[in-house]
């Protein structure tokens, strides 16, 4: 396909929420007025210095930002190529990048006078961040989570409940993240008058992909400033894992117009791309689900297929629409890592750097293990360490013990 | 262009009564039984037939219709077979309007232009696509109108007077008023709220207004039909179908009758209603 290159990769979406052919507002009429309200509220908040100032206060003193940009010396030595920096999003309060977006949306919800917050969650990181900020601001919180994920991410379920949230295990469909999102949408349609839907990734109907991206862009903006301070220049490459793609978009977006920066997104290849996986770009095609047009895993009849990943946070048959666009225009390279590659990376980073990553960014580390050795020693590579692995310790422990038997 | 939908509502208006609109899922519990059920509906009193196009992720539907879609998919239903079902129905009935209802993705993947040609050819009269609001009219609504199919829009309690003109602008056939904020199969709205809402919509359009979501009994159907041009029943019929299946979810000798009997009793309710004031 021959697609004209835009003057800027950062100007999207258009006023109807489109990134090229992707994005849009494919929702039931009941929700449409609310989505238009949200767009208006967000536009007003963005222009209000008081909103930004209040957010900055919480980002600094509650979330603990800026997160460090850490030179992973032993990983760099081990791989023998590019100089690898980790953007330490796992050190944020609640243990992942998710809190950046949730803080922004909860502050919007407060501006809009909404007292009840709902969210979907896969690995539970977005659910925990939402439960945390609802506790902080005294809001009712209901989190929808696939029954399969409730099982494999027990530590996060317990955390959400301790924070006062109600966790609803979703039994419909494949009982993972996509079904949690369906159920959250059903709740929203029903309780539209008092409820704010806090979406956890750069997907869903416009304006969600944009506002989540904007709230997460603090990752890339900080990285740019920190790299300037340490190395005096831009990084040469960026690597991040992608389920819906919010941590990746947050890191990538501020660099999209810096043409010297190579950008890599890493999808979950599960058991391998010819078997069950969750790599929508590698194995899917454009379709419409959950309010937007984007790459999806589906069959010939347009029925959505089950995704599979060892990582609950990447176990989703779609991807944010802006990623689909960045793929089609060729600005970002989308790769994929299998369950086994992610497990190996999980162990390597734990042993070499004393940092146990979540299984999600372990997929990004897995590709760093391939990319870094092929790069020169002065190549600066940044990988987004989007979450910490505490939640995965029981699951990975079981797998490793099972394997060592 | 006059469709079967326009003709049917004109006839009903002359007869001074409201329409009884039924919803069932295509291919539930299997393609052959589904055709028998759809064929039985007009004899049992259905004036307009909505047929669900099964989808894996029906985000506006409650558990009953979700399960119906999954039963149909498991039985091998596809969009192509849904169109074959309509074609099968049209062999014996060229008057009862058929409206396909569902979600956009299967149509998008089938190909919009090809779908419209095939749907029109099969005898489909209208489309209700839950996840295509007026903001996305370019996708299917405008091409469908051009192809001679009615695009029937949902109006909801959150559709205020400011928004109604946009919602009604490219709507044809009838307007489907969703009586509650919620998913299919949820509790019914009270009839005075429905009456007010229908009156509000009628200030903006001359199209017939049918009301759905939450109508389960002949009594509710009668109450709603007295305030609107039609009452839509889906979940109750889908539940009657499901309750007639065997333990493995297969059709039994009772299945077609179970749906036909409930259709007949609901139709009696609707026919007992006074026609809504114009």
In this model, does residue B276 exceed pLDDT 50? Answer: no
pLDDT at A174: 81
pLDDT at A5: 74
Tell me the two tokens of residue B11: 């006839």
Residue A12 within any structural domain of the chain: no
Task: Assess contact for A122 and A361: CB atoms under 8 A.
Answer: no
pLDDT at A402: 87
- Dist CA A29 CA B132 (whole Å): 8
- Dist CA A54 CA A134 (whole Å): 16
Secondary structure letter of residue A11 according to DSSP? S
Helix H or strand E encompassing A317: none
CATH of the domain at A305: 3.40.50.1100
- Dist CA A56 CA A381 (whole Å): 27
- Dist CA A239 CA A237 (whole Å): 7
Digit-coded pLDDT (tens) for A309-363:
999 889 999 999 999 999 999 999 999 999 999 999 999 999 999 999 999 999 9
- Dist CA A321 CA A20 (whole Å): 9
Looking at the fold, whether A179 and A235 belong to one and the same domain comes out as: no
- Dist CA A85 CA A70 (whole Å): 5
CA-nearest residue to B76 within chain A is A301
pTM score of the predicted model: 0.96
Phi and psi at residue A246, in whole multiples of 5°? -80, -35
Nearest to A33 among B104, B153, B158 (CB): B158
Residue A310 within any structural domain of the chain: yes
Tell me the two tokens of residue A227: 């790299």
CA distances (Å), A263 to each of A163, A237, A327, A333, in order? Answer: 37, 6, 11, 6
Instruction: For residue A223, give the nearest of A261, A267, A279, A278 by alpha carbon.
Output: A261
Beta partners for residue B177, in sequence order: B155, B211
Residue A85 within any structural domain of the chain: yes
Q: For residue A379, give its domain range.
A: 65-95+217-404
Instruction: Find residues 264-293 of chain A whose CB sits inside 8 Å of chain B.
Output: 287-291, 293
- pLDDT category at B272 given cuts 50, 70, 90 is confident
In this model, does residue B212 exceed pLDDT 60? Answer: yes
Contact B56 A33 (CB under 8 A): no
- Dist CA B27 CA B77 (whole Å): 6
- Dist CA A146 CA A176 (whole Å): 4
Q: Which residues of chain A fall below pLDDT 70?
A: 1-4, 403-405
Instruction: For residue B33, give the nearest of B260, B213, B210, B216 by alpha carbon.
Output: B260
In chain B, residues with a C-beta closer than 8 Å to the C-beta of A290 are 57, 59
What residue segments make up the domains of chain B, in order of their start? 4-271
Residue A6 within any structural domain of the chain: no
Q: Which one of B131, B168, B189 would you mutate to disrupt binding with A, by most A Cβ within 10 Å of its Cβ? A: B131
The number of residues in chain B equals: 278
From A178, A212, A246, give the residue that closes a domain. A212
Contact A29 B178 (CB under 8 A): yes
First and final C-alpha spacing in chain B: 23
Residues of A labelled as active-site residues: 98, 120, 386
Query: What SS3 state is found at B22?
Result: strand
Looking at the fold, whether A176 and A273 belong to one and the same domain comes out as: no
Beta partners for residue A294, in sequence order: A287
Task: Assess contact for B164 and B198: CB atoms under 8 A.
Answer: no
Secondary structure letter of residue A267 according to DSSP? E
Q: Quick one: fold of B4-271?
A: TIM Barrel (3.20.20)
In this model, does residue B277 exceed pLDDT 50? Answer: no
From A151, A181, A212, give the residue that closes a domain. A212
Looking at the fold, whether A260 and A295 belong to one and the same domain comes out as: yes
Residue A1 within any structural domain of the chain: no
Contact B153 A30 (CB under 8 A): no
pLDDT at A4: 67
CB atoms closer than 10 angstroms to residue A373: 12
Does residue B167 sit at the A interface (CB-CB below 8 Å)?
yes
pLDDT at A117: 98
pLDDT at B182: 87
Does residue A25 sit at the B interface (CB-CB below 8 Å)?
yes
From A180, A212, A244, give the residue that closes a domain. A212
- Dist CA A258 CA A247 (whole Å): 19
- Dist CA A396 CA A63 (whole Å): 27
Contact B105 A288 (CB under 8 A): yes
pLDDT at A132: 98
pLDDT at A2: 55
CA A316 to mean position of chain CA atoms: 11
Looking at the fold, whether A88 and A185 belong to one and the same domain comes out as: no
- Dist CA B59 CA B72 (whole Å): 17
Q: How many domains does chain A have?
A: 2
Digit-coded pLDDT (tens) for B167-197:
999 999 999 999 888 888 887 778 889 999 9
Burial A240-255 (b: 16+ CB within 10 A, else e): bbbbbbbbbbbbbbbb
Task: Assess contact for A246 and A97: CB atoms under 8 A.
Answer: yes
CA atoms within 13 A on the CB side of A86: 25
pLDDT at A405: 43
3-state DSSP helix/strand/coil percent for chain B, to nearest 5? 45, 15, 40
Q: Which one of B135, B141, B152, B155 would you mutate to disrupt binding with A, by most A Cβ within 10 Å of its Cβ? A: B135
Query: What SS3 state is found at A370?
Result: helix
Residue keyed to tokens 């803080």: A103
Q: What's the mean pLDDT when you consider all of chain B? A: 95
Give A147: exposed, middle or buried? Use CB within 10 Å, 0-12, 13-18, 19+.
middle
Does residue B161 sit at the A interface (CB-CB below 8 Å)?
no
Nearest to A29 among B105, B167, B186 (CB): B167
Residue A11 within any structural domain of the chain: no
């Amino acid at each position: 396909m021959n697609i004209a290159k835009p003057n800027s990769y950062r100007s999207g979406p258009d006023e109807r929420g489109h990134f090229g052919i992707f994005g849009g507002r494919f929702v039931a009429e009941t929700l449409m007025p609310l989505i238009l309200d949200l767009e208006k509220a967000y536009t007003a908040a963005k222009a209000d210095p008081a909103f930004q100032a209040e957010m900055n206060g919480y980002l600094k003193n509650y979330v603990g930002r800026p997160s460090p940009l850490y030179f992973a010396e032993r990983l760099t030595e081990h791989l023998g190529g590019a100089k690898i920096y980790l953007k330490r999003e796992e050190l944020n309060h609640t243990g992942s990048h998710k809190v950046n977006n949730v803080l922004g949306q909860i502050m919007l919800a407060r501006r809009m006078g909404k007292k009840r917050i709902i969210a979907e969650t896969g690995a539970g990181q977005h659910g925990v961040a939402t439960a945390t900020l609802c506790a902080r601001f005294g809001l009712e919180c209901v989190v929808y989570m696939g029954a399969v994920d409730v099982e494999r991410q027990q530590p996060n379920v317990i955390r959400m409940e301790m924070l006062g949230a109600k966790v609803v295990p979703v039994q419909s469909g494949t009982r993972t993240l996509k079904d949690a999102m369906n159920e959250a949408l059903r709740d929203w349609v029903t309780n539209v008058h008092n409820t704010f839907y806090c979406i956890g990734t750069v997907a869903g109907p416009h304006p969600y992909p944009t506002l989540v991206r904007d709230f997460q862009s603090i990752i890339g903006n900080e990285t740019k400033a920190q790299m300037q301070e340490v190395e005096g220049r831009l990084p040469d490459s960026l690597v991040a894992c992608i389920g819906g793609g919010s941590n990746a978009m947050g890191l990538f977006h501020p660099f999209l117009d810096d043409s010297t920066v190579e950008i890599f997104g890493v999808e979950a290849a599960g058991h391998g791309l010819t078997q069950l996986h969750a790599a929508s770009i590698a194995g899917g095609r454009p379709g419409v689900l959950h309010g937007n047009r984007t790459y999806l895993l589906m069959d010939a009849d347009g029925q959505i297929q089950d995704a599979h990943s060892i990582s609950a946070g990447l176990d989703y048959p779609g991807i944010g629409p802006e990623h689909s666009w960045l793929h089609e225009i060729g600005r970002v390279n989308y790769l994929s890592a299998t369950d086994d590659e992610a497990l190996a990376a999980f162990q390597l980073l734990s042993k070499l750097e004393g940092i146990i990553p979540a299984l999600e960014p372990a997929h990004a580390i897995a590709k760093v293990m391939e990319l870094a050795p092929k790069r020169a020693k002065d190549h600066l590579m940044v990988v987004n360490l989007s979450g910490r692995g505490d939640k995965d310790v029981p699951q990975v422990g079981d797998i490793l013990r099972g394997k060592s038997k | 262009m006059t469709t079967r939908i326009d003709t049917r509502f004109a006839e009903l208006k002359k007869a001074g009564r409201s329409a009884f609109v039924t919803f069932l899922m295509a291919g539930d519990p299997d393609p052959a039984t589904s055709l028998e059920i759809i064929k039985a509906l007009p004899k049992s009193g259905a004036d307009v037939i909505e047929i669900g196009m099964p989808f894996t992720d029906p985000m506006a539907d409650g558990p009953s219709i979700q399960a119906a879609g999954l039963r149909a998919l498991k039985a091998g239903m596809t969009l192509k077979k849904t169109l074959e079902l309509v074609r099968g129905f049209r062999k014996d009935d060229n008057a009862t309007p058929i409206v396909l209802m569902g979600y956009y993705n299967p149509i998008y993947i089938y190909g919009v232009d090809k779908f419209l040609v095939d749907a029109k050819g099969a005898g489909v009269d209208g489309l209700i696509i839950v996840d295509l609001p007026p903001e996305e009219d370019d996708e299917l609504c405008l091409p469908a109108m051009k192809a001679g199919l009615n695009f029937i829009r949902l109006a909801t309690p959150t559709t205020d007077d400011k928004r109604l003109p946009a919602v009604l602008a490219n709507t044809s056939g009838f307007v489907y008023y969703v009586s509650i904020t919620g998913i299919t199969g949820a509790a019914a709205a009270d009839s005075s709220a429905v009456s007010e809402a229908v009156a509000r919509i009628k200030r903006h359009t001359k199209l017939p207004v049918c009301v759905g979501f939450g109508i389960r009994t002949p009594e509710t159907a009668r109450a709603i039909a007295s305030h609107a041009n039609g009452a839509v029943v889906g979940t109750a019929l889908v539940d009657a179908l499901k309750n007639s299946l065997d333990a493995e979810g297969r059709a039994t000798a009772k299945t077609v009758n179970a749906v036909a009997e409930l259709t007949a009793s609901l139709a009696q309710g609707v026919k007992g209603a006074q026609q809504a004031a114009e």
